[in-house]
Every structure is written in structure tokens, then in C-alpha cells.
Amino acid sequence: MSVRVRFAPSPTGFLHIGNVHTALFNWLFARHEGGESRLRIENTDTSREVAEATEQIQESLRWLGLDWDGELTFQLDRMERCREEAQRLLDEGHAYEDEGAIRIRMPDEGVTGWTDLIRGHIEYPNDKLEDLVAVRADGRPTYNFASPIEDWLDGITHVLRGEDHISNTPKQIRILEALGAPLPEYGHLANILGDDGRKLSKRHGDVTVEEFRADGYIPEALFNFLALLGWSYDDKTTVMSREELVERFTLDRVGASPAVFDYAKLDWLNGVYLRALPLDEYANRLVTYLREQGYDWDEELVRRAAPLVQEKIATLREFPAFAGFLFARPEATAVDGAVLPAAADALGAVEPFESDRIEAALRELAERLGLKPRDAFQPIRLAVTGSSVSPGLFESLELLGKEESLARIAGSGRGGPSGSSAR
């Protein structure tokens, strides 16, 4: 039988990165095995909030590159079938009525066991299994009844989910056995921890795909990073494409111990992916990101600035702080010394105002003033960028243009108020 897995989130808001990790491992396993990966929304109503959350879930998966096979399905669509199956179990003596609800009889003795795809053999004492409510008095099926029925009806062969579900698995096995349905294989992924050793949550900052996207991470890097949380190909390979991950992913290399979400490693990996992009693609990503974040900046200038920042920043979010001076004049800062007036004279004579000619003029200026280039260039950098750290000075001056560059140098020389927008 071909592999068929499912990712079944609840539509309770933005998709948590832990759930995305589960979706990714299901997807990688299915694609490696040449099987199918399904998407099911475990909803119990059709409110506007559910509809919005459902769209957010799909958009998060699409952005990350996790497609799914077949139609999107909803738990709500199977409610009537669940009630029918509960009535069948009631008629066959596997269930009984209790204050209007239908409960499934659970065994009192022995154990319920399974060979977990990640953790090996697991046994659960049956005397700890309470008779499970299958359908509530109001007619609504419970999660632990509806979910395994859907797995059965959808032909799910492997259920890969978080370790929080380990206690649900023996209940669901017993339900499927009572229904006479085939059992899928179960595997339970370890939790993801923050750097404080606690389960990843809002206290750690970014927890949804939308937040990582807003913080300037690109999907290829996040995809690669998440794949390495709890799985490894070997002890040295880190950067892997989607195709390489699909080819190499096997469940026997998935660990049962929690993985730590290392933000420093994600930053590094994101920088690796950004630097590897062709320049045109890098500029496209930058333009798209800035537009998404509400920056109404000159697109052509953004594209011209892209080569200056590609090797310098690890996330797209760093661009406004690093190169924002190109789009709005920074606060003028009084700079001591005689460099700025002399720099204004030297730059005023540069024609055409291009980076190589600018560099030659400023290096000649430094030599004439008897200064090391670094000491001569720093006050100019402060005057035009407002920071001691910026993209290349000569290229930045070219992008600003002669008029704006000289205006900033003059303003800093006077220590006066900031001027108008640069563009």
C-alpha cells in the first residue's frame, strides 16, 4: 500500500511553528516514499474566525512550499458519519449511553501497545483508559472519536504527530479495533524547546510562520532549518535543498529527544541562503518583503542597493536599519575636524559621480590630509548615513547622488536639523 499521511491542524489562529514542523516531517516522509500528504482542518463549526484561520493555515503552508494532495477536507463534513459509526458501536455492544452521550467501552485489563515509528515499542495500561465519550449529548463527536474515523475513511497509513498525542493513541487504536478498521502506523515527534529548555511558546518571540516571514526569513532557509530539528542526515551536513531533503529523509534518523530552536543558527542559515541567491532574485525578494511590510520606497533604488547589502545582512528585516539612509535623510550629526569641508570640495569636483571616481577622490583627500583612509572616511560615513556601520561608502554616495551627498555633508558640518527625504 502506498504511503498516505495527513496534517490535521485545528483552526484556532495562526499556525504555530511546532505544528509546521509536524507538517514538514509528514510532507518529507510522504514525498520520500512517493506517497501522498493530505491536509485536514479539524474544525467543529463554520464561523468567520474558522474561515480566516483556515486560509492562514493554507497560506503559511504554501509560503513554506508544503503542498498537499487531494482536496482540503474538514472534520465537520464527517460529523454525520461519526454519529452513524457511534450508533453502530452502540448496537454491537461496543458502546453504551450515558446521560445522552455515547461512550466507547475500553478494556480494564492488559495493555494496549504499538511499535512507534520513532520511539519503538510503547505500552499503555488499559486500566488507565477511561470509557471514551464518542458523541456528546448534543450530538457532537469528540476529537478522539472523529480523528481516527477520518484516518480510516481517508486511508491514512501513517500518523506522524507530536508527542502530546501519545496518550491519545491507545484510545484511538481501541476505537479503530472496535470499528473493524485497519490501524495506521503511529509515530510521535519530540517537542521543540526554546533556549530556556521549555516548550517553544510565545515567551520565545516568533512562534508563527507569519512572524518569521515578517522578520525577514525566507522560506528555503526556514524549511531547511526546521528539517534539522530532530532529524539529521549525518553529523556535518547542514545546508540542503528541498530536493536533497526529500531524497535523504527517513524516519529512522528522527530522534525521540526534544530539539532546541536555535535562533542564531537560523540567522546564519538564512544569511547563507540570501547570499546564494542570484542578484536579480535577491532584489525581487527584497522589493517584495519591503512592500509586504508597508515600506513605500523607490523600487529602482532598492534594486540598486541590493548588491551593497546582500553580503552584509542575515535577514531581509535588517535592510531598513542598514540602508534606510538611502530613502530618508538621517538626523544631522555635528562631526569634529576639517574633513567634511574638504570632502565637500573634493566630491564637488567629481564628475561623473560614480563610485570608482568617488573612491579615488576621497583616497587622494585622505593622503592630502595625512590621515589613514579609515579615519578620513568615518566622518563622511556618519554624515551621509547617520551610522558608523553601513554599506560601502563610495557606492552609497553614488546612490545618493552628488546633490544629496553634499547636502548631508554640509548639514553635519553645521550640526543643524535634519533635512527632507532623500527620495
User: What does the block give as the cell for 48?
Assistant: 468567520
* 37 and 170 both lie in a single domain: no
* 159 and 95 both lie in a single domain: yes
Length of the chain: 423
User: What does the block give as the cell for 83?
Assistant: 454519529
* 164 and 123 both lie in a single domain: yes
The candidate with the shortest Cα–Cα distance to 87, out of 202, 179, 191, 180, is: 179
> Residue 256 in contact with residue 116, Cβ under 8 Å?
no
- Show which of 156, 189, 222 is a domain's final residue: 189
156 assigned to some structural domain: yes
331 assigned to some structural domain: no
* 25 and 88 both lie in a single domain: no
423 assigned to some structural domain: no
The candidate with the shortest Cα–Cα distance to 256, out of 291, 227, 231, is: 231
Number of compact structural domains in the chain? 4
User: How far is it, in rounded angstroms, from Cα 373 to Cα 362?
Assistant: 8
Q: What backbone phi and psi angles, to 5 degrees, belong to 397? A: -60, -40
* 200 and 248 both lie in a single domain: yes
256 assigned to some structural domain: yes
User: How far is it, in rounded angstroms, from Cα 174 to Cα 163?
Assistant: 19
* 98 and 167 both lie in a single domain: yes
User: How far is it, in rounded angstroms, from Cα 280 to Cα 323?
Assistant: 18
The candidate with the shortest Cα–Cα distance to 225, out of 181, 256, 267, 170, is: 267
User: How far is it, in rounded angstroms, from Cα 29 to Cα 66?
Assistant: 12
CATH code (residue 47): 3.40.50.620
* 242 and 143 both lie in a single domain: no
| Per-residue model confidence as pLDDT tens digits over 36-70 | 999 999 886 656 778 888 999 999 999 999 999 99
Residue 10: is its pLDDT beyond 90?
Answer: no
* 407 and 343 both lie in a single domain: yes
- Show which of 268, 296, 331 is a domain's final residue: 268
Q: Domain range holding 399?
A: 339-414
Q: State the pTM of this model.
A: 0.91
Burial 237-265 (b: 16+ CB within 10 A, else e): eeebebeebbebbebeebeeebbebeeee
Select which of 128, 171, 202, 312 is catalytic. 202
What's the pLDDT score for residue 179? Answer: 97
Q: Which residues contact 374 (CB under 8 A, 6 or more apart)?
A: none
419 assigned to some structural domain: no
301 assigned to some structural domain: yes
What's the pLDDT score for residue 414? Answer: 56
CATH code (residue 395): 1.10.10.350
User: How far is it, in rounded angstroms, from Cα 172 to Cα 163?
Assistant: 15
57 assigned to some structural domain: yes
CA count, 13 A, side-chain hemisphere, 44: 13
- Show which of 189, 219, 237 is a domain's final residue: 189
> Residue 396 in contact with residue 322, Cβ under 8 Å?
no
What's the pLDDT score for residue 15? Answer: 86
* 164 and 118 both lie in a single domain: yes
| Per-residue model confidence as pLDDT tens digits over 343-366 | 999 999 999 999 999 999 999 999
* 101 and 55 both lie in a single domain: no
Percentage of the chain lying above the pLDDT 70 cut: 94
What's the pLDDT score for residue 418? Answer: 40
* 305 and 220 both lie in a single domain: no
274 assigned to some structural domain: no
Whether residue 236 lies in the annotated active site: no
- Determine the longest span between alpha carbons in the chain, in angstroms: 100
* 119 and 146 both lie in a single domain: yes
| Per-residue model confidence as pLDDT tens digits over 195-237 | 888 888 766 666 899 999 999 999 999 999 999 999 999 989 9
